[in-house]
């Protein structure tokens, strides 16, 4: 992964960065927070939380909300002119929290989105899954496993970040700084730079993309290309399920569009991007695009809730 430190840029890049890293994130925080909270309130209704899909959606909204603040606040204040304020780099504790949650929230959101798709596909194709697995209690256990496993995978990030002091000859005082994403342990540094990017790619991209594509194809085969039913009630149910499946497909496409540019810029094309006037603009744009993902999921969740409230997401 690319090692990138933001620096002051020349016009017009500084003006562009002000918009994409300060103004846009504030809008995303407001819209995303209100939307996610609204979604969670509706999903936690007694009738709605009886389905396993909605349990996964609740946790998806929760982690998307945390991700909104983690990704947006880190660049919002430094983007304003003459601002030297930082949120995550003021102390070692804040630095470690930033390092951990920046990856943990992305990984959990990716897994819960994948579980929504997997749960949906299995509900439509298996009555046994509906009776035995697709229960709120089982969904909560799965969510707990996701949280614990991903905490174990990303927990080493708390070991990164440390304070160091430099003697200032002009003032005669020691200046204390915080180094994030670095450790005094060289083995830990090597793991973060060499092995961890591949773990991140598997959790964030390869595994979700693969399962989502398979689930989407299975769902499409079951609903979109299925024969038209003669029973009016079944016909209405199939039409509703098709609309829900299309919205889930849009969520998956949004996930690909919002996350793939960030990974390509930081992992594949970083050597071509670093060292130019537009470097900060490109990297900040891809980070803001990931933050937009949380808001876009919110809007699709609210639309989907209108279809699924009180509905049985099963094979009719």
Over residues 276-304, mean pLDDT: 67
Other Cβ atoms less than 10 A from the Cβ of 134: the count is 21
Instruction: Name the band, by pLDDT with cuts 50, 70 and 90, for residue 308.
Output: low
- At residue 145's C-alpha, the angle toward residues 143 and 146, to 5°, is 65
Q: What is the mean pLDDT of the chain?
A: 77
| Residue 208 belongs to some domain of the structure | yes
Instruction: Name the band, by pLDDT with cuts 50, 70 and 90, for residue 316.
Output: very low
| Residue 145 belongs to some domain of the structure | yes
Contact present, 110 and 255 (Cβ < 8 Å): yes
| Residue 194 belongs to some domain of the structure | yes
| Residue 78 belongs to some domain of the structure | yes
| Residue 237 belongs to some domain of the structure | yes
Contact present, 144 and 151 (Cβ < 8 Å): no
Does the pLDDT at position 104 exceed 90?
yes
pTM of the model: 0.79
Instruction: Name the band, by pLDDT with cuts 50, 70 and 90, for residue 6.
Output: low
pLDDT at 312: 47
Q: Hey, what's the torsion of the CAs at 86, 88, 91, 96, to 10 degrees? A: -160
Does the pLDDT at position 234 exceed 70?
no
Q: Cα 118 from chain centroid?
A: 18
Q: Which residues contact 213 (CB under 8 A, 6 or more apart)?
A: none
pLDDT at 311: 46
pLDDT at 107: 93
Compute the distance between CA of residue 108 and CA of residue 143 in angstroms, rounded to an integer. Answer: 9
Does the pLDDT at position 309 exceed 70?
no
| Residue 278 belongs to some domain of the structure | yes
Helices 232-263, 279-308: crossing angle, 10 deg rounding:
170
Compute the distance between CA of residue 1 and CA of residue 312 in angstroms, rounded to an integer. Answer: 44
| Residue 267 belongs to some domain of the structure | yes
Provide the residue count of the chain: 316
In this predicted model, what pLDDT tens digit does every residue of 30-50 receive, in sequence order? 888 888 888 888 888 888 788
What does R_g of the chain's alpha carbons equal in angstroms?
22
| Residue 111 belongs to some domain of the structure | yes
Sign of CA dihedral 11, 14, 16, 18: negative
Lowest-confidence segment of 87-91, 176-180, 231-235, 274-278 by average pLDDT: 231-235
Tell me the Ramachandran region of residue 23: left when phi exceeds 0, alpha when psi lies from -120 to 50, beta otherwise. Answer: alpha
Does the pLDDT at position 264 exceed 80?
no
Q: Which residue has the higher pLDDT, 239 or 181?
A: 181
Greatest Cα pair distance in the chain: 87
Lowest-confidence segment of 53-67, 105-119, 267-281 by average pLDDT: 267-281
Q: Cα 107 from chain centroid?
A: 7
Compute the distance between CA of residue 292 and CA of residue 68 in angstroms, rounded to an integer. Answer: 8
How many structural domains compose the chain?
Answer: 1
Contact present, 154 and 196 (Cβ < 8 Å): no
Q: Which residue has the higher pLDDT, 253 or 3?
A: 253
Compute the distance between CA of residue 62 and CA of residue 66 in angstroms, rounded to an integer. Answer: 7
Q: Is the peptide bond before 255 cis (omega within 30 degrees of 0)?
A: no
In this predicted model, what pLDDT tens digit does every residue of 134-177 receive, in sequence order? 889 999 999 999 999 999 999 999 999 888 888 878 877 888 88
What domain range is 146 assigned to? 13-160+189-308
Over residues 225-235, mean pLDDT: 57
The enclosing domain of 88 has a CATH number of 1.20.1070.10
Instruction: Name the band, by pLDDT with cuts 50, 70 and 90, for residue 254.
Output: confident
User: What is the β-pairing status of strands 173-179 and 162-168?
Assistant: antiparallel
SS (H, E, C) 4-68: CCCCCCCCCHHHHHHHHHHHHHHHHHHHHHHHHHHHHHHHCCCCHHHCHHHHHHHHHHHHHHHHH
């Amino acid at each position: 992964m690319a090692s990138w430190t933001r620096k002051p840029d020349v016009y017009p890049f500084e003006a562009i960065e002000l918009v994409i890293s300060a103004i846009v994130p504030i809008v995303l925080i407001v819209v995303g927070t209100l939307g996610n909270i609204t979604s969670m309130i509706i999903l936690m209704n007694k009738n709605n939380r009886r389905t396993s899909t909605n349990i996964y959606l609740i946790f998806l909204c929760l982690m998307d909300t945390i991700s909104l603040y983690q990704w947006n606040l880190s660049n919002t204040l430094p983007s304003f002119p003459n601002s030297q304020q930082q949120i995550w780099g003021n102390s070692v504790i804040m630095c470690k929290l930033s390092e951990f949650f920046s990856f943990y929230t992305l990984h959990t959101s990716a897994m819960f989105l994948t579980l929504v798709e997997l749960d949906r596909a299995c509900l439509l194709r298996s009555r046994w899954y509906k009776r035995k697995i697709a229960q709120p209690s089982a969904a909560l256990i799965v969510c707990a496993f996701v949280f614990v496993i991903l905490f174990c995978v990303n927990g080493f990030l708390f070991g990164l970040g440390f304070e160091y002091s430099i003697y200032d000859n002009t003032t005669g005082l020691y200046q204390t700084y915080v180094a994030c994403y670095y450790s005094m342990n060289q083995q830990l540094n090597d793991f973060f730079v060499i092995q961890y990017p591949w773990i991140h790619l598997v959790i964030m991209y390869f595994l979700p993309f693969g399962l989502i594509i398979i689930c989407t194809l299975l769902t499409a085969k079951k609903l979109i290309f299925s024969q038209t039913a003669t029973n009016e009630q079944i016909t209405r149910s199939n039409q509703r399920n098709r609309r829900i499946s299309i919205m889930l497909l849009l969520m998956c496409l949004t996930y690909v569009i919002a996350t793939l540019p960030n990974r390509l810029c930081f992992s594949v094309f970083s050597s071509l991007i670093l060292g130019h006037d537009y470097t900060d603009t490109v990297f900040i744009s891809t980070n803001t695009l990931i933050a937009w993902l949380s808001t876009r999921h919110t809007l699709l969740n609210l639309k989907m809730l209108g279809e699924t409230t009180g509905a049985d997401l099963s094979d009719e």
